[in-house]
Structure 1
Amino acid sequence: MVIDSTSLRSHFPSLDDGVAYFDSPGGTQTPRPVAEAIATTMLRPLSIRGTSTASERNAELVVTEFRAAYADLLGVPAQGVVHGRSATQLTYDFSRHLAKAWQPGDEIVISRLEHDSNVRPWIQAAGRAGVTVRWIDLDGPELDLGSLRRVLSPRTRLVAVTAASNVLGTIPSVRRIADLAHEAGALLYVDGVHFAAHHLVDVPGLGADFFVCSPYKFFGPHCGVLAAAPDLLDGLRPDKLLPSSDAVPERFEFGTLPYEMLAGATAAVDFLAGIASGAPGAGTSRRDRLARSFAAIHEHETGLLARLEQGLGDLAVTVHSRAADRTPTTLMSLTGRDAREAQEYLAGRDVLAPAGSFYAYEPFTALKLPDPALRVGLAPYNTGEEVDRFLAGLADFLRK
């Protein structure tokens, strides 16, 4: 299945500015259907959820459609879909919910591959509860699962791990980590923010007890989504307002939901489901169409990544993204040159490739990566011409 780049790009008004956007690990551009869904929701009658008026029913429908869309995207029941302002906010919330059951002497395990949003909330919650933090070490750009086996014990209550590194692109074996964690009696919390933009998620297949992602990484608005089994959520008692619903998943969603954001997030899933050329419509489930689209996305991005890597082989750069299984995200340092200067130079040529450490404190520290480093993240709307433009611009910068 092939992506029709011209057709796909026509849905993104922002791409008309001529900039080659390689900043998708930080957030993608937004297609018109997503923006229209947000505007339509805000402009039609809208009230607090209910059944008495059209405005109340509109709000109820938005929430129902949002849960159904992310159930299809993540492979979980709709009642296991929780909305949050961001993945970071959801992880902070659930670190507090889960820590209520922790006791001094308990342990949690975190990996050195993480974005800090899947590190600091757990460390801070552990500190308040008197819980010991253990670490999964790195073996180069890969996770050292041997170190996980060494630190797991009957006292382990939680393992937190990324499904894909936002800087190196490394995709660890989440299923193997899940099996080891569950054998020890621990829960597995998975940061899927970077992973969900490139692969169709199967939360039960991964073995994740909790899985969090961010729709703005795959064409949606800025919000977060957490998925878990409804019966697991039912066993958690968050602090909440007394009159607010105690039903799952509503008990975890504090205050009135941002209906327009939910509508945009739903539209992003529908847009993803329609990406594959020739994907059938009627009679085919949205989950099936998503599978076809993600297969096409993977083929497209893999081809672009090969083109990028071939071109980088001729330049004075050090590529740090070397895991055997990884997303189309490449972190590099430049021999004798400053990555932020490279970012500015490329921006002058209408190429956006950001420099920094991207909240990945642990891998940057563990691997002694140069900070800042240059990151190129590929998205379905990127083209071969844009990759060539980045390579030509970087080559010119390195020659100056």
Structure 2
Amino acid sequence: MEGLFDQELIGMVRSRFPRAERDFNGRKRAFLDNGTGTLVVGRAAEEEARARVDHSANVSGIFDESRGADEVIHEGRAAVADLLNAPSPEDIVSGESATSLMFSLSYAIGKGLTGEKNVVATDYEHYANLSPWLELERRGLVEEVRLAGIKGDGALDLSHLGSLVDGKTCVVSASAASNVLGTKTDLKSVGRLAREAGAYFVVDAVHHIAHGPMDVQALDCDFLVFSGYKFFSPHGSFMYGRKECLEELKPYKVKPAPVHPPDSWEWGTRDQAKFAAIKGAVDHHVWLAEQVGGEFRGKFAGYRGRRKALKVALTAVEEYEKGVSRAMLEGVGGVPGLNQMPHVKVYGITDPGRVDERDPTFSFEVEGVPQDEVVRRLWIDHAIALRAEDFYSRVHDVYERPKLIRASFVQYNTLEEAEGLLRALAEKKV
């Protein structure tokens, strides 16, 4: 199915992103900083702008601008519910950022804890999914936060994680994929461990949300968080919460605020434009499904309407990106892959036969060249946009690397862009 994204379709996809076709110093730019934030699809930007002008009033009024705001919020919740295959739009909570939502969740869970329990997470988490739990430990509300290790090949050590979960585990929280290594987590296996322990199962889907379909019912998770700006939309984040969990937990809120979820979980005045924007990003994927849908005829029988369209579109994206990952690892256009360059050290899974286990996110170092200099030369000489940071990930603590260079690909990136990066690295033109 990688062939679904032929040159014509890639061109059509790129045309829907106003910033995808840009030049720098007379060169066609390759935007490979998607792990930090994707480009915004035109439909999302248009819907956001319309909401800011036409539906700018606060909710619950009887006049047009306010009624429009109510409608925009409802439609945005419904779009996110369909994206995640959540049972109801009322299971969707909005927030300023994934970090703020995770802290809100940890505070709510912490209200019922007295220090005997533990939390289990992993060594490749973003700190947005670590610091909220470590804060519970600091305050004495949990005994400890236990972290499952990373294997030598960059995969999560599931056996180690299983050994950490016990009868006192109250939360098991894991990323759907590492934002540094690109490694995907076997969430169903992690979820089973959480269920057996009677613990909340929390998924950080921020990095993975653009790379494949997510289904909270299939995962049987209690909470799942992602950010709009990692899904071709402006800033703003969303959390799925199992209905019973949203109702039984008591988040911090001001006294006059609503007492029933999802409103009780949302702090302050909501920005309805971000609901409009995320619906625009979802609409883009419905369009994408129309372009590739014939290849999936008869599949995904358990899905209907927009939910099926999103499953189709993101499955097609996932298959296309496997081809990009394979090209990055084994080479393309006569240029060797990352794992064939002795002067380049890649962190994470490097076996081209295991692209099913990773997102197209590649963190690396170039021997003898400072990371910031590599980034600068790739931009100035090759118009390749990426960066070197710690990316707020615990991976850098584990590997004792202050920063790594990261190239991250999404649906509008091309094999030609992958080849351009590989060629610059192979010819040591950095």
TM-score, shorter chain, exceeding 0.5 = yes
Gaps of 5+ in 2: 24-28, 295-302, 332-336
Q: Which moved more, 1:309-318 or 1:237-246?
A: 309-318
Instruction: Provide the residue aligned with 1:133 in structure 2.
Output: 145
CA contact (8 A) 1:174 1:207 kept: no
Q: Any idea what SS the aligned residue of 2:139 has?
A: helix
Provide the aligned length of Structure 1 versus Structure 2.
395
Corresponding residue number in structure 2 for 1:294:
314
Structure-2 residue corresponding to 1:95: 106
Following the alignment from structure 2 to structure 1, what is the Cα–Cα distance between the partners of residues 200 and 292? 40
**Alpha-carbon distance, 1:90 to partner:** 0.4
Residue deviations 1:315-360 (CA, integer Å, cap 9, x gap): 3211112174111111111122222111000111210121122111
Superposed, 1:201-280 pairs within 5 Å as: 201-276=214-289, 277-279=291-293
* Counterpart check, 1:81 vs 2:87: no
The list of structure 1 runs, each at least 4 consecutive aligned residues, that deviate by more than 3 angstroms after superposition, is none
Amino acid at match of 2:104: D
Bigger mean CA offset, 127-136 vs 178-187: 127-136
Please, which of 360, 370, 389 is the counterpart of residue 356 of structure 1? 389
Distance 1:10 1:133, change over 3 A: same
Structure 2 residue aligned with 1:328: 360
Matched, 1:394 2:413: no
Letter of the 1:138 partner, please give it. I
Aligned counterpart, 2:74: 64
CA drift of 1:278 comes to 4.6
Q: Name the CA distance, whole Å, in 1 between partners of 2:97 and 2:285.
A: 20
**2:12 maps to amino acid:** S
2:34 corresponds in structure 1 to: 24
Task: Check whether the contact 2:97–2:237 (CA below 8 A) recurs between aligned residues.
Answer: yes
Change (3 A) 1:263 1:345: same
Q: Is the 8 Å Cα contact of residues 102 and 157 (structure 1) preserved in structure 2? A: no
State yes or no: 1:11 paired with 2:16: yes
> Which consecutive residues of structure 1, in runs of 5 or more, have no partner in the other structure?
none
1:123 positional shift: 0.3
Deviations 1:294-318 (A, max 9, x none): 1221222122222222232443211
Deviations 1:261-314 (A, max 9, x none): 11111111111222242548xx96111111111122122212222222223244
Residues 205 and 224 of structure 2 are in contact (CA less than 8 Å); yes or no, is this contact kept in structure 1? yes
For the residue of structure 2 that corresponds to 1:27, the secondary structure is coil
What one-letter code is carried by the residue in structure 2 that aligns with 1:155? K
Asked if the contact 1:342/1:394 (under 8 Å) is kept, the reply is no
CA offset at residue 399 of structure 1? Answer: 5.1
Q: Distance in 2 between matches of 1:399 and 1:376?
A: 16
TM-score scaled by length of structure 2: 0.88
Aligned counterpart for 1:196 among listed residues 191, 199, 209: 209
Moved more, 139-148 or 88-97: 139-148
Given that 1:115 and 1:165 are in contact with CA atoms closer than 8 Å, whether structure 2 keeps it comes out as yes
C-alpha RMSD over aligned residues: 1.8
Q: Does 1:111 align with 2:147?
A: no
Between stretches 142-151 and 215-224, larger displacement belongs to 142-151
Q: Choose which of 319, 325, 339 in structure 2 pairs with 1:305.
A: 325
Corresponding position of 2:415: 384
**Structure-1-length-normalised TM-score:** 0.94
- Shift of the 394–47 alpha-carbon distance from structure 1 to 2, 3 Å rule, reads same
1:14-73 C-alpha deviation (Å, 9 max, x unpaired): 123232011111111112111111111112153222252211210110111011001100
Shift of 1:393: 2.4
Q: How far apart, CA to CA, are the structure 1 residues paired with 2:283 and 2:102? A: 26
What's the secondary structure of 2:359's corresponding residue?
Answer: coil
C-alpha change, 1:269 and 1:399, in structure 2 (3 Å) is: closer
Q: Percent identity?
A: 31
Question: How much has 1:372 moved relative to structure 2?
Answer: 2.4
